[in-house]
């Protein structure tokens, strides 16, 4: 037994057969009036509705005109309320969240510049200080002692570098 989508595909393929060709098993004989060609089996026809337009139920046929007008007014009121809430959230974001994010970014930028200046000072003061990333140690060029990197607190300060170099000499 074929599933619905496959059967639908074969039906559409057979619709465009060239004249003179055999119909095969004659399963597209036109007596499939109960088959919904626009709805795959198991899917909901409401899913195909246009979601960009609200449905006020004008085509329901079962409601009164007052209900339809009330639904339209209610839908418009919800639209206005949604826009008002959106504007309020945007204003709160611009007034509270953005300044906090900018302050945090400024603080991070200052810390990064301070760390970079500290590292440059260490390199200028101790040009012979080296590190081996494979062995995770620091050492002095030409020296024989090492210190594990795990003992260093990151980012390394100038005072910390002074202590390490004193131990390595």
Residues 89-120: pLDDT tens digits? 888 888 888 888 999 999 999 999 999 999 89
pLDDT tens per residue across span 1-18: 446 666 776 666 666 655
Distance of alpha carbon 130 from alpha carbon 20, whole angstroms? 86
Least confident of 85-89, 130-134, 147-151, 160-164: 85-89
Query: Are 104 and 73 in a shared domain?
Result: yes
Q: Is the model's pLDDT at 21 over the cut of 70? A: no
Q: In sequence order, what are the beta bridge partners of 130?
A: 139
Query: Are 76 and 97 in a shared domain?
Result: yes
Query: Are 70 and 121 in a shared domain?
Result: yes
Distance of alpha carbon 59 from alpha carbon 37, whole angstroms? 22
The residue with tokens 């000499």 is: 169
Query: Are 132 and 153 in a shared domain?
Result: yes
Identify the domain containing residue 93 by its residue range. Answer: 61-125
Q: Count of domains in the chain? A: 3
What average pLDDT score do residues 127-148 get?
90
Q: Is the model's pLDDT at 153 over the cut of 60? A: yes
Domain assignment of residue 54, yes or no:
no
Indicate the DSSP class of residue 156: P
Q: Name residues whose C-beta falls within 8 Å of residue 131's C-beta, 6 or more positions apart in sequence.
A: 137, 138, 139, 149
Domain assignment of residue 55, yes or no:
no
Q: Is the model's pLDDT at 88 over the cut of 80? A: yes
Distance of alpha carbon 71 from alpha carbon 57, whole angstroms? 8
pLDDT tens per residue across span 36-83: 555 555 555 555 555 555 555 545 455 577 777 777 777 887 887 888
Distance of alpha carbon 107 from alpha carbon 101, whole angstroms? 10
Maximum Cα–Cα distance across the chain:
99
Domain assignment of residue 56, yes or no:
no
Domain assignment of residue 109, yes or no:
yes
Query: Are 69 and 118 in a shared domain?
Result: yes
Domain assignment of residue 164, yes or no:
yes
Domain assignment of residue 5, yes or no:
yes
Verify cis geometry, omega within 30 degrees of 0, for the bond prior to 77: no
Query: Are 66 and 117 in a shared domain?
Result: yes
The CA distances from residue 137 to 11, 122, 145, 152, 154, in Å, are 73, 17, 10, 10, 14
Query: Are 21 and 31 in a shared domain?
Result: yes
Report how far Cα 154 is from the mean position of its chain's Cα atoms: 32
Q: In sequence order, what are the beta bridge partners of 140?
A: 129
* Residue 9, phi then psi, degrees to nearest 5: -65, -45
């Amino acid at each position: 037994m074929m599933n619905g989508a496959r059967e639908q595909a074969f039906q559409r393929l057979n619709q465009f057969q060239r004249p003179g060709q055999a119909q095969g098993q004659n399963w597209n004989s036109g007596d499939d009036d109960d088959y919904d060609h626009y709805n795959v089996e198991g899917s909901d026809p409401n899913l195909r509705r246009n979601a960009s337009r609200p449905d006020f139920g004008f085509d329901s046929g079962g409601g009164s005109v007052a209900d339809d007008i009330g639904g339209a007014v209610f839908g418009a009121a919800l639209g206005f309320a949604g826009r008002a809430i959106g504007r309020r959230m945007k204003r709160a974001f611009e007034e509270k969240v953005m300044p906090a994010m900018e302050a945090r970014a400024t603080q991070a930028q200052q810390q990064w510049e301070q760390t970079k200046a500290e590292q440059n000072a260490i390199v200028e003061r101790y040009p012979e200080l080296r590190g081996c990333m494979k062995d995770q140690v620091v050492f002095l060029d030409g020296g024989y002692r090492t210190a594990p990197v795990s003992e260093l607190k990151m980012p390394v300060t100038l005072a910390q570098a002074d202590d390490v170099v004193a131990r390595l000499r």
